[in-house]
């Protein structure tokens, strides 16, 4: 029980450090994401790896510093490969995948509690990379709007 209490205390401290007082860091990150478009998320001509890391740092700096750059570099590489395997536009798709993995967990695309991700990516007749990327961005925006509404009503994630 002593070890469990120690783990719980550490987890609570970690979560408070990332979410901020009254979830203020999380709320600010969601607001930044809602204002952003995947089409303008990466600067033109930037190295995609550096661009994605800078994007993640700008979206949610508290999470960025807690996770650490090495783990985030691995996640960015996975996001780039995932966007290609899903048939998304290369840069926009990688930005969407990276941000979703960052915010929802690195395995979010496999998470049965997030069925909207699978629905957005389900191939349809006459699909193009543009349509698939647009559909994923639209669904992600709808999800963020729901989270923002819940935060404004309850103050909890």
Give residue 20's pLDDT: 84
- Say what the pTM is: 0.85
Count of structural domains within the chain? 1
Residues 97, 101: Cα–Cα separation, whole Å: 6
CA atoms lying within 13 Å on the CB side of residue 10: 6
Domain that holds residue 119: 2-154
Output the tens digit of pLDDT for each of the chain's 157 residues: 888 888 888 888 877 888 888 888 888 898 898 888 877 777 777 789 999 999 999 999 999 988 988 999 999 999 999 999 999 999 999 999 999 999 999 999 999 999 999 888 888 888 899 999 999 999 999 999 998 888 887 666 5
Residue for token pair 């996975």: 78
Extract the tokens encoding 7. 């783990």
């Amino acid at each position: 029980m002593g070890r469990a209490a120690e783990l719980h205390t550490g987890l609570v401290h970690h979560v408070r450090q990332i979410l901020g007082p009254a979830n203020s860091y999380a709320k600010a990150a969601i607001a930044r994401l809602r204002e952003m478009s995947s089409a303008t998320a990466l600067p033109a001509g930037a190295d995609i790896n550096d661009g994605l890391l800078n994007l993640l740092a700008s979206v949610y700096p508290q999470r960025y510093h807690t996770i650490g750059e090495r783990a985030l570099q691995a996640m960015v590489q996975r996001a780039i490969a995932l966007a290609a395997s899903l048939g998304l536009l290369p840069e926009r798709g990688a930005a969407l995948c990276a941000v979703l993995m960052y915010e929802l967990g690195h395995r979010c695309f496999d998470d049965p509690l997030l069925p909207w991700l699978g629905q957005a990516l389900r191939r349809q007749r006459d699909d193009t990379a543009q349509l698939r990327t647009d559909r994923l961005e639209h669904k992600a925006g709808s999800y963020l709007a729901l989270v923002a509404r819940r935060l404004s009503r309850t103050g909890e994630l």
